[in-house]
Structure formats: structure tokens, C-alpha cells
């Protein structure tokens, strides 16, 4: 059983403060809950209560959730904050803004058929975010060391950066990312030039509506055109395509006037690695459809989605970058790739855009 946490619930609704506190208590793990009805009161309580985790409603009067988050980041930069969001498009937009400002994750307020169902849904999400907090509390270097201590002898350490390596021409860039992804993508996609010679396809584990808001936010801040993918859409250079929440995105090749063209297909098949969309589905389909070198990038996230997909990419002569452990919110998905010996380079978040550019456009870094 994980160690009990100190949790501060910030919400202007007395009813929802009770619902959130009840869901935490129902886990039966001894977590201590304090509440605050406004952002201003939360800021006064944080120094005395010293919460391990702040659950922050994004829509509050007087001092909004975003204003509260900015103040927390300024005054308590190490504080872990998880946003509590509504499920409409406006809430999704604000949630994406909050994640880009450093919130670790978000919980969508459930809309179940009964209060009991809502409590059950919240309990499931709480288990996930509380594991996130436990992982962030662990010493970063210790997680990989511990994994090696129990791993088979054939497992190798993550590679050091090897700046002189360059694969053959890259046809597609594939990105798989989960927890911590929106903030990480904000540092990568807008930093890429409009002259990038390969399209980018992204699987970010998020519900419907939120992926559309993420695409809109990324599109507004960079040179590449970013959109939520649509079924039957052609894959074109200069574009970034994000899989819609709740649907798998795959790549297919179709006959065209001048040969063949790559198209995006969406489907509602069963979850893979408990995820839909899943990076494995995208990576495997692209490896099969393209048959030429691809660049797979696996970034921050829980679990091991992407492992089977990267294996398929490497079998076709592709190349793989993983986000470095020290720069991940959760070193789960990249660690699975690193421990399997499939990563060609482990790259810090701030250097990922530059390395993607150099690999795709052929200009080696100095």
C-alpha cells in the first residue's frame, strides 16, 4: 500500500469539495485531506499544511484556477498540482493552458449516471494521480537503478547521447506521450521549424475534447500546422497530427495519381495497453505502411505504451529517441524503451526539438 498523502482540495463548490474528499477517503489508504473554497485561501494554507498534492478546480470566481496555479508555481515551485476540469470545450482549453504552465496532470469531473458512479470514477483516477505523486517523490536516479537491479542480465542501460549518429532519410516522425505530455509537447513542437521535411503524428493519452484543445494550443505557438487528426486525412509535410481522444490513429498507404499516398485512419478498436489512442497502434501501422526508416520519439508517461511499436519501427531500420529520465514528469514509457535496449539516444526535453530537426533535415549538430 502506498504511503498516505496530504491532499489539499481547492474548489469553490462545497458540494464538489465533499465529493472529492469522499472519493479520497473511500480509497481507504489513510490520506489526509484539507479543503479550501478559493485560490486565495489555498495559497494561505499551503505553507502550513504542506500538501503532497493539490487538487485544483480550474473554474472558480474571483481568483481562477489558472491564476491560482500561476501563484503556486511562483511561490511553491516544487508543489505538485493536479487540475480538476469540466468536460466542455472551454474547460478543455483552460486545462491545456494549466498543463502547459506546469500542472502535472488533470482529472475530468465525471458525469456518471449516479453519485456512486461518479465516486467510483474519481477513485480510479485518484489511484493513478497518487501513483504519479509517489513516483515524483522517488529519487530520479533511483528508479532506473532499481529497475536494473531486478532486470534480466540482457537488459542494457539507456544510451548516452551519440551526436554523430544519423539514420537514413526519415519519412515520418512518430511521438508517443502521456502524463506530463502537454507541457512537454509545448517545449518541442513550437520549437520545430516550418521547413521540417517530415510530418509528425502524435499519440497523447487524453480524453475527447482535450486533444482538440491541445492541437489548437500547439498550432498557435509554432510554425508547423497542428490539428486533431481526421479519418481519411492525407499525411503531408509541414503538418502535425494529434490522435483524437478515445480513438486509435493508424497510418495506411493508398494508391494515388503519382504513386501512393499516406492516409490517416481512425478506429474504435479495443484499448491497447489500456489506452485508446495507443502509441503502439500508430507505430506498428506506420512501420508496416511505410516500410522505410521512421523516427520514433517516446516521451514522458506512465506504463509501457510504445514498446511494441518501437520494436516494429526498429525492425524496419528506424531510429528512436527517448526523453531523458531527469526531464520526465513520469519516467515510465521511456524507461520501458531504454531498458529494452531500443533507444538510440536519450535526450533532455529542452534538446529534443533540435535533435529531431537535425535527424530529419540532415544537419548534424555542431
Residues 177 and 311 in one domain: yes
Residue 96 inside a domain? The answer is yes
- Among 184, 247, 252, residue whose Cα is nearest residue 212: 247
Given pLDDT bands bounded at 50, 70 and 90, which one contains residue 39?
very high
Residue 145 inside a domain? The answer is no
Share of the chain above pLDDT 70, in %: 86
Residues 204 and 337 in one domain: yes
Residue 165 inside a domain? The answer is no
Q: What is the spatial distance between Cα 215 and Cα 246, in angstroms, rounded to a whole number? A: 15
What's the pLDDT at 125? 85
Residues 128 and 215 in one domain: no
Query: Where among 89, 122, 137 does a domain terminate?
Result: 137
What's the pLDDT at 155? 42
Residues 26 and 124 in one domain: yes
What's the pLDDT at 254? 83
- Among 64, 126, 125, residue whose Cα is nearest residue 94: 64
- Give the lowest-confidence range in 6-10, 67-71, 149-153, 231-235: 149-153
Q: What is the spatial distance between Cα 240 and Cα 199, in angstroms, rounded to a whole number? A: 6
147 or 205, which is more confident? 205
Q: What is the spatial distance between Cα 95 and Cα 104, in angstroms, rounded to a whole number? A: 11
Domain that holds residue 297: 173-361
Which residues pair with residue 200 across a beta bridge? 173, 240
Residues 354 and 222 in one domain: yes
Q: What is the spatial distance between Cα 46 and Cα 43, in angstroms, rounded to a whole number? A: 6
- The residues carrying an active-site annotation are 178, 205, 305
Q: What is the spatial distance between Cα 165 and Cα 362, in angstroms, rounded to a whole number? A: 11
Distances (CA, A) of 309 to 87, 97, 188, 222, 273: 31, 30, 21, 28, 12
Residues 191 and 331 in one domain: yes
Residue 144 inside a domain? The answer is no
pLDDT over threshold 60, residue 160? no
Whether cis (ω within 30° of 0) applies to the bond prior to 242 is no
Looking at the 3D structure of the chain, how many domains does it have? Answer: 2
Residues 179 and 76 in one domain: no
CATH value at residue 254: 3.40.50.180
What's the pLDDT at 203? 98
Given pLDDT bands bounded at 50, 70 and 90, which one contains residue 58?
very high
- Give the lowest-confidence range in 68-77, 93-102, 111-120: 111-120
Residue 192 inside a domain? The answer is yes
Element (H, E) at 249: strand 248-256
Residue 154 inside a domain? The answer is no
- Among 213, 201, 243, residue whose Cα is nearest residue 99: 213
Per-residue pLDDT of 310-347, as tens digits, reads 999 999 999 999 999 999 999 999 999 999 999 999 99
Residues 229 and 343 in one domain: yes
CATH value at residue 54: 3.40.50.2300
Residues 247 and 106 in one domain: no
- Among 252, 361, 343, 253, residue whose Cα is nearest residue 306: 343
Average the pLDDT over 277-296 and give the result. Answer: 94
> In this structure, is the dihedral angle defined by the CA atoms of residues 172, 176, 182 and 183, taken in order, positive or negative?
negative
Given pLDDT bands bounded at 50, 70 and 90, which one contains residue 163?
very low
Given pLDDT bands bounded at 50, 70 and 90, which one contains residue 28?
confident
Query: Where among 78, 110, 137 does a domain terminate?
Result: 137
Average pLDDT of the chain, as a whole number: 87
Q: 43-59 burial, b if ≥16 CB within 10 A, otherwise e?
A: bebbeebebbbbbbbbb
- Among 46, 58, 136, 69, residue whose Cα is nearest residue 93: 58
Residues 103 and 205 in one domain: no
* CA Rg value for the chain: 21
pLDDT over threshold 60, residue 154? no
**33-37 long-range contacts, CB within 8 A, separation 24+:** 33/7, 33/8, 33/9, 34/6, 34/7, 34/8, 34/9, 35/8, 35/9, 35/10, 35/11, 36/8, 36/9, 36/10, 37/10, 37/11, 37/12
Residue 160 inside a domain? The answer is no
Given pLDDT bands bounded at 50, 70 and 90, which one contains residue 108?
confident
Given pLDDT bands bounded at 50, 70 and 90, which one contains residue 365?
very low
Per-residue pLDDT of 116-141, as tens digits, reads 788 888 888 888 888 776 655 554 44
Residue 351 inside a domain? The answer is yes
Residues 90 and 238 in one domain: no
Residues 200 and 262 in one domain: yes
Q: What is the spatial distance between Cα 57 and Cα 309, in angstroms, rounded to a whole number? A: 36
What's the pLDDT at 139? 40
Query: Where among 137, 162, 183 does a domain terminate?
Result: 137
Tell whether pTM > 0.75: yes
Q: What is the spatial distance between Cα 14 and Cα 124, in angstroms, rounded to a whole number? A: 22
Per-residue pLDDT of 189-241, as tens digits, reads 999 999 999 999 999 999 989 999 999 999 999 999 999 999 999 999 999 99
Helices (H), the chain: 14-26, 39-49, 65-75, 89-100, 115-137, 140-150, 181-188, 210-220, 279-290, 307-315, 333-339, 349-361
Per-residue pLDDT of 233-249, as tens digits, reads 999 999 999 999 999 99
pLDDT over threshold 50, residue 156? no
- Among 246, 350, 335, residue whose Cα is nearest residue 298: 335
Given pLDDT bands bounded at 50, 70 and 90, which one contains residue 87?
confident
- What letter would DSSP give residue 211? H
Q: Furthest-apart CA pair in the chain: how many Å?
A: 68
Amino acid at each position: 500500500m502506498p504511503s498516505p498523502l496530504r491532499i489539499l482540495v481547492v474548489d469553490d463548490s462545497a458540494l464538489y469539495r465533499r465529493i472529492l474528499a469522499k472519493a479520497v477517503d473511500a480509497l481507504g489508504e489513510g490520506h489526509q485531506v484539507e479543503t479550501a473554497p478559493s485560490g486565495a485561501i489555498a495559497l494561505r494554507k499551503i505553507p502550513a499544511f504542506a500538501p503532497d498534492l493539490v487538487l485544483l478546480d480550474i473554474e472558480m470566481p474571483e481568483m481562477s484556477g489558472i491564476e491560482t496555479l500561476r501563484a503556486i508555481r511562483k511561490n511553491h515551485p516544487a508543489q505538485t498540482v493536479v487540475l480538476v476540469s469540466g468536460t466542455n470545450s472551454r474547460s478543455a482549453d483552460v486545462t491545456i493552458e494549466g498543463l502547459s504552465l506546469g500542472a502535472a496532470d488533470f482529472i475530468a469531473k465525471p458525469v456518471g449516471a449516479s453519485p456512486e458512479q461518479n465516486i467510483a470514477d474519481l477513485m480510479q483516477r485518484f489511484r493513478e494521480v497518487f501513483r504519479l505523486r509517489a513516483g515524483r517523490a522517488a529519487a530520479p536516479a533511483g528508479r532506473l537503478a532499481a529497475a536494473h537491479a531486478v532486470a534480466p542480465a540482457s537488459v542494457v542501460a539507456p544510451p548516452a547521447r551519440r551526436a554523430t549518429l544519423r539514420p537514413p532519410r526519415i519519412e515520418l516522425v512518430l511521438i508517443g506521450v502521456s502524463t506530463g505530455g502537454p507541457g512537454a509537447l509545448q517545449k518541442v513542437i513550437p520549437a520545430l521549424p516550418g521547413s521540417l521535411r517530415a510530418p509528425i503524428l502524435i499519440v497523447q493519452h487524453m480524453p475527447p475534447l482535450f486533444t482538440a484543445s491541445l492541437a489548437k494550443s500547439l498550432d498557435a505557438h509554432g510554425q508547423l500546422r497542428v490539428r486533431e487528426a481526421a479519418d481519411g486525412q492525407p499525411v503531408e509535410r509541414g503538418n502535425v497530427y494529434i490522435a483524437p481522444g478515445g480513438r486509435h490513429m493508424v497510418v495506411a498507404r493508398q494508391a494515388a495519381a503519382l504513386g501512393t499516398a499516406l492516409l490517416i485512419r481512425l478506429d474504435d478498436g479495443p484499448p491497447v495497453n489500456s489506452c485508446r489512442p495507443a502509441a503502439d497502434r500508430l507505430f506498428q501501422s506506420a512501420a508496416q505502411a511505410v516500410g522505410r526508416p521512421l523516427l520514433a520519439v517516446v516521451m514522458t508517461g506512465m506504463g509501457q505504451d510504445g514498446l511494441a511499436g518501437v520494436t516494429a519501427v526498429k525492425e524496419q531500420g528506424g531510429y528512436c529517441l527517448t526523453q531523458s529520465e531527469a526531464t520526465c514528469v513520469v519516467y515510465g514509457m521511456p524507461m520501458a524503451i531504454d531498458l529494452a535496449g531500443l533507444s538510440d539516444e536519450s535526450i533532455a526535453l529542452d534538446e529534443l526539438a533540435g535533435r529531431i530537426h537535425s535527424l530529419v533535415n540532415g544537419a548534424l549538430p555542431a
